Amino acid sequence: MVEHFPAKAAMSTEHENTKIKQASKSEDPVIKNIIERIEKIERWIEMQTPPALMIENSSNLKDFELWNQVLLKLQQTLSKPSFDTWFSGTIAKLLDEDVMLVLCKNEFQSDWLSERYKEVIFFTVEEVAGRTFELEFATVKSLEKVLS
> Does pLDDT of 48 surpass 90?
no
What's the chain's average pLDDT? Answer: 78
Compare 106 and 143 and report the one with higher pLDDT. Answer: 106
> Does pLDDT of 78 surpass 90?
yes
> Does pLDDT of 7 surpass 50?
no
* Domain 52-147 CATH (choose: 3.30.70.120, 3.40.1280.10, 3.30.300.180, 3.30.1490.20): 3.30.300.180
pLDDT at 148: 53
**Mean pLDDT in residue range 45-69:** 66
Q: Do 113 and 90 meet the contact criterion of CB atoms below 8 Å apart?
A: yes
pLDDT at 47: 62
pLDDT at 144: 67
From CA 137, how far away is CA 120, in angstroms rounded?
14
With helix as H, strand as E and coil as C, how does the chain read?
Answer: CCCCCHHHHHHHHHHHHHHHHHHHCCCCHHHHHHHHHHHHHHHHHHHHCCHHHCCCCCHHHHHHHHHHHHHHHHHHHCCHHHHHHHHCCCEEEECCCCEEEEEECCHHHHHHHHHHHHHHHHHHHHHHHCCCCEEEEEEHHHHHHHHC
Chain region(s) in the chain for CATH 3.30.300.180: 52-147
Q: Do 57 and 94 meet the contact criterion of CB atoms below 8 Å apart?
A: no
pLDDT at 140: 80
Compare 50 and 69 and report the one with higher pLDDT. Answer: 69
Confidence class for position 11, pLDDT limits 50, 70, 90: very low
| Residues 17-31 pLDDT 10s | 555 555 556 678 887
Most confident listed range (51-55, 101-105, 143-147):
101-105
pLDDT at 82: 95
Residue 78 phi, psi dihedral angles, 5° rounding: -90, 160
Look up the pTM and report it.
0.60
Query: Residue 100's closest CA among 78, 67, 142?
Result: 67
DSSP β-ladder status, 91-94 and 99-104:
antiparallel
From CA 26, how far away is CA 4, in angstroms rounded?
34
